[in-house]
Each structure stands twice: as structure tokens, then as C-alpha cells.
């Protein structure tokens, strides 16, 4: 997959939905290519967000954008084709919701999408070993999923470094994404720890000036590109 790393993926959960088209356009005008869509069902997570129709709307608003769809739902297999039809490029499911994860990953790929697996803060990276060769991306939650605006869980750095090492040792090429509490202050260290894709909701859409918010996070992230790990 040809993408300029690191990537900043604004999460529209924090956007003003009455001005969604305008706010997404503000992002793409700043060179943003990925848009992160948080799908919450009120069961797996204690919050309800939106469904395939809003993803379809984002696709209409930003036909060129890469839609990064994060499913925080029980029984994701029941909805994968709906999100693929709506225009998702990447569909990520939670390890904690998929007893038949290999089959679910096949289902995502058979729908023509890239496949990602997400792990909650308390879920170990080691559990992903068997599925890593089959996926395009691992998303490490740095907050407990369900809400924007939460504080970053510092132990996430260790999990990211471990996953980065695993990728180095195995020669695999999955991307490493982080989600939750990402800000200008931690962006550099996250990229230095091994992150390729940074999801940011409140630090983009709650910024006084969205373009400035994007520019400062990206500048910090790019300054971390000479990885140490």
C-alpha cells in the first residue's frame, strides 16, 4: 500500500455533525487523506455513534479519501458488507468481539477491503501472533473504547514497541495504528515508538483552528520519523 507515513487520521466522532461536510473538507484541504469512522453499538461499548449511512455520506463528501472504519460492535460479521458497500477502504474489528477472527478477516477481504484488528488496553499483543500474517493493520487502543476526549494510557507505548519489534522480527508489513488521547504532545514519541497511523478526534475537531491543529500534530509526528524504538 503506497502511503506517506506517518499518517494523521482525524476521527469524525469529535466533529460538528451539523457542519460535517465543511469540517471534512477543511481536513482534506490540509492534505489529510485518511478519515477515521468510529462505529459504536451501545453493547460492546457504552455509547452509540452512527452506521453505514454516515460512512456513505463521508464517501460522498470526500470521494478521494481513505475511509478507515473502526467497528466497536458485537457480531461485526453481520455488518461488514454494509460498510464495504458504503465505501470503507479499511475495516478494523476488535479482537474481543471475534471468536472466529480468521473467518472475519476473510470476510472483510472478500468484500474488497483491507483488514485490521484492534486490541483494547488490557488485551495482549501476543494474542495477535497467529493472525498477523493475514492482516493489513493493527490498531492499538490507547484509551478504553467508547468515547473521545479521554486521557492517553501511557503503558500503550510498551505495546506499540513490542508490536514494532514483532514486525521487524517477522518481516511482515502490517501498519501500526494508535487511537485515543493522541495529541501534539505525544505524537513524536508515538511515531518514534513505531506508530504509522495516528487517530485524533478532539485534538483536531475541538481545536480553536482545525488547520493549525492538524499542522502542529503532523509536524510533531513527522519529527518522530527517525525511529529509535
- Residues serving a catalytic function are 38, 179
Which residue lies nearer to ligand DX5 by CB, 50 or 109? 50
Place of cell 477515521: 36
**Helix (H/G/I), strand (E/B), else coil: 162:** helix
Q: To the nearest whole angstrom, how small is the minimum distance from the Cβ of residue 82 to ligand DX5?
A: 19
Which residue lies nearer to ligand DX5 by CB, 169 or 208? 208
Which residue lies nearer to ligand DX5 by CB, 150 or 216? 150
Residue of the chain from 24, 38, 73, 105 that contacts Zn ion (CB under 5 A):
38
CA 187 to chain CA mean position, Å: 14
Q: To the nearest whole angstrom, how small is the minimum distance from the Cβ of residue 168 to ligand DX5?
A: 27
Residue 41 interacting with Zn ion (CB under 5 A): no
CB-based contact 10:35 (threshold 8 Å): yes
Tell me the three-class secondary structure of 16-75, residue by residue: CHHHHHHHHHHHHHCCCCEEEEEEEECCCCCCECCCHHHHHHHHHHCCCCEEEEEEECCC
SS3 percent helix, strand, coil of the chain, rounded to 5, is: 45, 20, 35
Q: To the nearest whole angstrom, how small is the minimum distance from the Cβ of residue 205 to ligand DX5?
A: 8
Q: Binding partner of residue 14 among ligand DX5, Zn ion, none, CB under 5 to 8 Å per kind?
A: ligand DX5
Candidate ranges 23-31, 32-40, 47-55, 213-221; the one touching Zn ion (CB under 5 A): 32-40
Instruction: Give the per-residue contact string, 156-195, with Zn ion (x = CB under 5 A; - = no).
Output: -----------------------x----------------
Between helices 210-222 and 20-29, what is the axis angle to 10°? 40
Contacts of 12 (CB under 8 A, 6+ apart): 20, 23, 24, 35, 36, 37, 38, 58, 201, 205
Q: Binding partner of residue 193 among Zn ion, ligand DX5, none, CB under 5 to 8 Å per kind?
A: none
Q: Which of 3, 62, 7, 4 is nearest to 221 (CA)?
A: 7
Q: Which residues contact ligand DX5 by CB under 6 A? A: 11, 13-14, 36, 38, 70, 143, 145-150, 179-182, 199-203
Which residue lies nearer to Zn ion by CB, 118 or 128? 118
Amino acid at each position: 500500500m503506497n502511503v506517506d507515513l506517518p499518517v494523521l487520521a482525524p476521527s469524525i466522532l469529535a466533529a460538528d455533525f451539523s457542519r460535517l461536510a465543511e469540517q471534512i473538507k477543511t481536513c482534506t484541504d490540509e492534505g489529510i487523506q485518511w478519515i477515521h469512522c468510529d462505529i459504536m453499538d451501545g453493547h460492546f461499548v457504552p455509547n452509540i455513534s452512527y452506521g453505514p449511512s454516515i460512512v456513505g455520506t463521508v464517501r460522498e463528501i470526500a470521494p478521494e479519501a481513505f475511509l478507515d472504519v473502526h467497528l466497536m460492535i458485537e457480531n461485526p460479521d453481520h455488518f461488514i458488507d454494509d460498510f464495504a458497500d458504503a465505501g470503507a477502504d479499511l475495516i478494523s474489528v476488535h479482537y474481543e468481539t471475534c471468536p472466529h477472527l480468521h473467518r472475519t478477516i476473510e470476510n472483510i477481504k472478500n468484500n474488497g477491503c483491507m483488514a485490521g484488528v484492534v486490541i483494547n488496553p488490557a488485551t495482549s499483543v501476543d494474542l495477535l501472533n497467529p493472525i498477523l500474517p493475514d492482516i493489513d493493520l493493527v490498531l492499538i487502543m490507547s484509551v478504553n473504547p467508547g468515547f473521545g476526549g479521554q486521557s492517553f494510557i501511557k503503558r500503550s507505548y510498551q505495546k506499540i514497541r513490542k508490536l514494532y519489534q514483532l514486525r521487524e522480527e517477522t518481516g511482515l508489513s502490517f501498519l501500526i495504528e494508535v487511537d485515543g488521547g493522541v495529541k501534539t504532545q505525544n505524537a513524536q514519541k508515538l511515531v518514534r515508538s513505531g506508530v504509522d497511523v495516528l487517530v485524533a478526534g478532539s485534538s483536531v475537531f475541538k481545536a480553536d483552528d482545525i488547520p493549525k491543529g492538524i499542522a502542529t500534530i503532523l509536524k510533531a509526528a513527522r519529527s518522530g520519523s527517525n525511529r529509535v524504538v
